[in-house]
Chain A
Amino acid sequence: MLSVLGRLGRAVLESLARLGRWFVFMLALLPALPSALLRPRLIVDQLYHLGVLSLQIILVAGAFVGLVLGLQGYSILATYGSAESLGVVVALSLVRELGPVLTALLFAGRAGSALTAELGLMKSTEQLAGMEMMAVDPLKRVVAPRFWAGVITMPLLAALFSLVGVFGGYAIGVGLLGVDSGSYWSQIQSQVDFFDDIVNGVLKSLVFGVAAAWIALFEGYDCVPTAEGVSRATTRTVVNTSLAVLGLDFIMTALMFDV
Chain B
Amino acid sequence: MSAVPSGEPLIEIHNLTFSRGSRLIFDRVSLSIPRGKITGIMGPSGTGKTTLLKLIGGQLRPDAGEVWVDGQNVHSLSRSALFALRKRMGMLFQHGALLTDLSVFENVAFPLREHTCLPESMIRDLVLMKLNAVGLRGAHDLHTAELSGGMARRVALARALALDPELVMFDEPFTGQDPMTLGVLVRLIRKLNDALGLSSILVSHDVAETLSIADHLYLLAEGRVIASGTPAAIQADASPWVQQFMQGMADGPVPFHYPAAPLQDDFHLPKVQECDRC
| Pairwise interchain contact B84-A127, C-beta atoms closer than 8 A | no
Please report the C-alpha to C-alpha distance between residue A27 and residue B89 in the assembled complex, in whole angstroms: 28
| Pairwise interchain contact A135-B115, C-beta atoms closer than 8 A | yes
| Pairwise interchain contact A135-B83, C-beta atoms closer than 8 A | yes
| Pairwise interchain contact B97-A127, C-beta atoms closer than 8 A | yes
Please report the C-alpha to C-alpha distance between residue A141 and residue B83 in the assembled complex, in whole angstroms: 14
Within 8 A of A (CB), among B94-112: 94-95, 97-100, 110-111
Q: Taking the complex as formed, is B68 at the interface, i.e. its CB lies under 8 A from any CB of chain A?
A: no
| Pairwise interchain contact B86-A127, C-beta atoms closer than 8 A | no
Chain B, interface size category, equals 20 to 34
Q: Taking the complex as formed, is A191 at the interface, i.e. its CB lies under 8 A from any CB of chain B?
A: no
| Pairwise interchain contact B100-A127, C-beta atoms closer than 8 A | yes
| Pairwise interchain contact B114-A141, C-beta atoms closer than 8 A | yes
Total cross-chain contacts (CB, 8 A): 50
Q: Taking the complex as formed, is B48 at the interface, i.e. its CB lies under 8 A from any CB of chain A?
A: no
| Pairwise interchain contact B95-A133, C-beta atoms closer than 8 A | no
| Pairwise interchain contact B93-A130, C-beta atoms closer than 8 A | yes
| Pairwise interchain contact A132-B99, C-beta atoms closer than 8 A | no
Binding site of A, secondary structure by majority: helix, strand, loop or mixed? helix
8 Å CB contact of B86 from A122, A133, A141: A133
Q: Taking the complex as formed, is A55 at the interface, i.e. its CB lies under 8 A from any CB of chain B?
A: no
Q: Taking the complex as formed, is B57 at the interface, i.e. its CB lies under 8 A from any CB of chain A?
A: yes
| Pairwise interchain contact A125-B84, C-beta atoms closer than 8 A | no
* CB-defined contacts of B94 to chain A, threshold 8 Å: 126
| Pairwise interchain contact A135-B95, C-beta atoms closer than 8 A | no
Q: Taking the complex as formed, is A136 at the interface, i.e. its CB lies under 8 A from any CB of chain B?
A: yes
8 Å CB contact of B57 from A122, A133, A137: A133
Known contacts A126-B95, A129-B59, A141-B114; A135 and B100 CB within 8 A of each other: no
Q: Taking the complex as formed, is B87 at the interface, i.e. its CB lies under 8 A from any CB of chain A?
A: yes
Instruction: Report the minimal beta-carbon distance from A14 to chain B, rounded to whole angstroms.
Output: 15
The interface bits of chain A over 119-147 (1 if a CB of B lies within 8 angstroms of the residue's CB, else 0) are 00110011101101111110001000000
* CB-defined contacts of A135 to chain B, threshold 8 Å: 83-84, 86-87, 111, 114-115
Please report the C-alpha to C-alpha distance between residue A127 and residue B107 in the assembled complex, in whole angstroms: 11
Please report the C-alpha to C-alpha distance between residue A132 and residue B97 in the assembled complex, in whole angstroms: 11
From A122, A125, A127, A133, residue with most partner B Cβ within 10 Å? A133
* CB-defined contacts of B234 to chain A, threshold 8 Å: none
* CB-defined contacts of A136 to chain B, threshold 8 Å: 110-111, 114-115
From A121, A132, A135, residue with most partner B Cβ within 10 Å? A135
8 Å CB contact of B111 from A121, A126, A132, A134: A134
Instruction: Report the minimal beta-carbon distance from B5 to chain A, rounded to whole angstroms.
Output: 24
| Pairwise interchain contact B59-A133, C-beta atoms closer than 8 A | yes
Which of chain B's residues has its CB closest to A128's CB? B97
* CB-defined contacts of B57 to chain A, threshold 8 Å: 132-133
| Pairwise interchain contact A133-B100, C-beta atoms closer than 8 A | no
The interface bits of chain A over 92-109 (1 if a CB of B lies within 8 angstroms of the residue's CB, else 0) are 000000000000000000
Q: What are 30 A-B interface contacts by the 8 Å CB criterion?
A: A122-B100, A125-B95, A125-B100, A126-B93, A126-B94, A126-B97, A127-B99, A129-B59, A130-B91, A130-B93, A130-B97, A130-B98, A130-B99, A132-B59, A132-B86, A133-B59, A133-B89, A133-B91, A133-B93, A134-B87, A134-B111, A134-B114, A134-B159, A135-B84, A135-B87, A135-B111, A135-B115, A136-B110, A136-B114, A141-B114
A-B residue pairs, 3 tightest by C-beta: A130-B97, A135-B83, A126-B97
Besides A126-B97, A129-B59, A133-B57, 17 more A-B contacts (Cβ < 8 Å) are: A126-B93, A127-B97, A129-B93, A129-B97, A130-B91, A130-B97, A132-B86, A133-B59, A133-B89, A133-B91, A134-B87, A134-B114, A134-B159, A134-B163, A135-B114, A137-B83, A141-B114
